[in-house]
Chains A and B, each alone.
Chain A
Amino acid sequence: MAEPTIPPAPPEPPPGRAKVHMTLDVNGERQEVAFAPHKTLLEVLREDMALTGTKHGCELGECGTCTVMVDGQPVLSCLVLGLECEGARIETVEGLASASGPHPLQVAFADLGAAQCGSCTPGFLMAAKALLDQDPAPSRDTLKEELGGNLCRCTGYLKIYEAIEWAAGTLRGEHPASPLQPGATAPHVHGEGCRHG
């Protein structure tokens, strides 16, 4: 058991509604930001940093839509104080793609129909990213368990599993990022008794 790390002291919030001023590390960029001390990370990202890629569905921890990664762990940004994120490494959907292109998860989600309306998608992507960082080849049961905290009303989850599995294969170097490009054997994109689940 590693020695527990104790987070640094957050800035002492001023009394009342005055804003705290602090530096947040979001997607590898350190940005100064000022916000009311009772704002959640979700609100700070969307309203004070213009990072609206993180969506929300309840703000009560009941849907997983607002999932971001903090220090490598997927968490519900609606229940984290922005104030407590000083010194933390925050990753949002905006940080998934790099200058060299989209993350394999993004390619697979787009190409395999894992994003329908797209509202839950950023949360699923971040939960999936965190999972693949820990487990490069998750079983279907692991996917069900680890994504159990993200609700989707469009897909029935099946195409999400397939996209994550495909992206995991890409990250393991087994096949190209796009399941639709020539030579790739795409899972289940044609409708003759195709199995999902």
Chain B
Amino acid sequence: MMRLPAFAYRAPTTPAEVARVLASDPAAMVVAGGTDLYPNMKRRHQQPKTVVALRRVQALRGIQWHADGSLTLGAGETLRAVERDPGVEARLPALAHAVRTISTPLLRNMGTIGGNVCLDTRCNYYNQTWEWRRAINFCMKCDGDTCWVAPSSPRCWAVNSSDSVPVLVALGATARLVGPQGERTLPVAALFRNDGIAYLTKARDELLVSLTIPAQGSARSTYRKVRRRGAFDFPVASAAVRVRMDGERVAAADIVLNAVTSAPVVATEAQQALLGQRLDEATIAAAAEKAARLAKPLDNTDHLAAWRKKVVQVEVRRALESLRA
């Protein structure tokens, strides 16, 4: 039986209290649904001495629609609650869909939207037991020096494998953080750094409290996820795309890739290429090609890296095609 290591357990009730505990205890980590941290702890690649449970923090709860059509999601809401919210389904179908593709219904009953946003980066040299990792002399992300995915690399290439993140970025969402110095709000896109270890810009004593998604107006969006199976699997490549049309021409476009490097990738050039254009075959193909150039998949997830790179283009193309109607 895979078991958790011993730890001290705290269950504060306010974000400020959480931040204080994190600030005072460098070996503390927060846990919400436990679906990311606990497996990592059982494999001994995350080993907080103190686990700070968020389940009693009221301020992390709530799915709140505002008068302007924007939505605030408490970071502690379960993925199930998000996907089942009738408003999310009706007004943000891409988000509802993305959340539904996360792992399994059982896991989504436990995992939270905040947890999925902050999901530890993944790598099949890293998400292994201590004994397994010892056999490869460990890796840069934990207990070792080398990134085995790219041994000469100075950085870790673990993969951002969140399904909600690319959609939240594409939809222009913001994140509210509470830390010992108070709170701040930043675009979700700015939460991430392309580094498998320091993948979040959030300080370790800052707590993600909520996510706000602006009203989408006439924009349409979609999410496409590539994986082996229809459940359980993390994405090996994904694309979130939002398009707002002005008549027959593209007025605004957002193309965000994920699971192809350590952070979500905003395909700026591809977005530019769409502006003012009709969504015809050639335009879509050109944008998809530009977007795919930014994908840098390496051999550390399921599926071959070269294949993942190829299908990014296919998925961006299909995403744009689906938004054409």
Contacts and interface: CB of A to CB of B under 8 A. Distances in A.
Question: Would A and B touch once assembled, by the CB under 8 A criterion?
Answer: yes
Contacts of B53: 81, 84
Contact of A13 (B5, B9, B13): B9
Interface in B276-325: none
B46 interface: no
B130 interface: no
Interface stretch (A25-33, A35-43, A159-167, A184-192): A35-43
Nearest to B87: A1
Interface stretch (A91-99, A100-108, A141-149, A175-183): A141-149
B56 A64 contact: no
A74 B4 contact: no
A16 B105 contact: no
A3 B109 CA distance: 18
Interface string B51-85: 00101101001111000000000100000100001
A39 B2 CA distance: 11
A74 B110 CA distance: 9
Interface stretch (B32-40, B191-199, B244-252): B32-40
Contacts of B43: 60
B2 A59 contact: yes
B202 interface: no
A150 B4 CA distance: 22
A193 interface: no
Interface residues of A, number: 41
B234 to A, nearest CB: 11
Contacts of B232: 62, 148-149
A27 B35 CA distance: 24
A56 interface: yes
Residue with the greatest number of chain B CB neighbours at <10 A, chosen from A17, A56, A64, A81 = A81
A153 B61 CA distance: 38
B104 A64 contact: yes
Given A38-B4, A76-B110, A6 B56 contact: yes
Given A10-B11, A60-B42, A75 B109 contact: yes
A17 B104 contact: no
A4 B54 CA distance: 14
B230 A40 contact: no
Contacts of B9: 10, 13, 37-38, 81, 83
Contacts of B39: 60-62, 79
Contacts of A74: 105-106, 109
A125 B3 CA distance: 25
Given A9-B56, A13-B9, A84-B53, A75 B63 contact: no
9 contacts: A1-B64, A38-B5, A38-B9, A39-B4, A40-B38, A61-B38, A76-B110, A79-B39, A149-B107
Interface of B: 1-9, 11, 13, 33-35, 38-39, 42-43, 53, 55-56, 58, 61-64, 74, 80, 85, 103-107, 109-110, 230-232
5 tightest Cβ-Cβ pairs between the two chains A and B: A149-B104, A148-B231, A4-B61, A59-B2, A149-B106
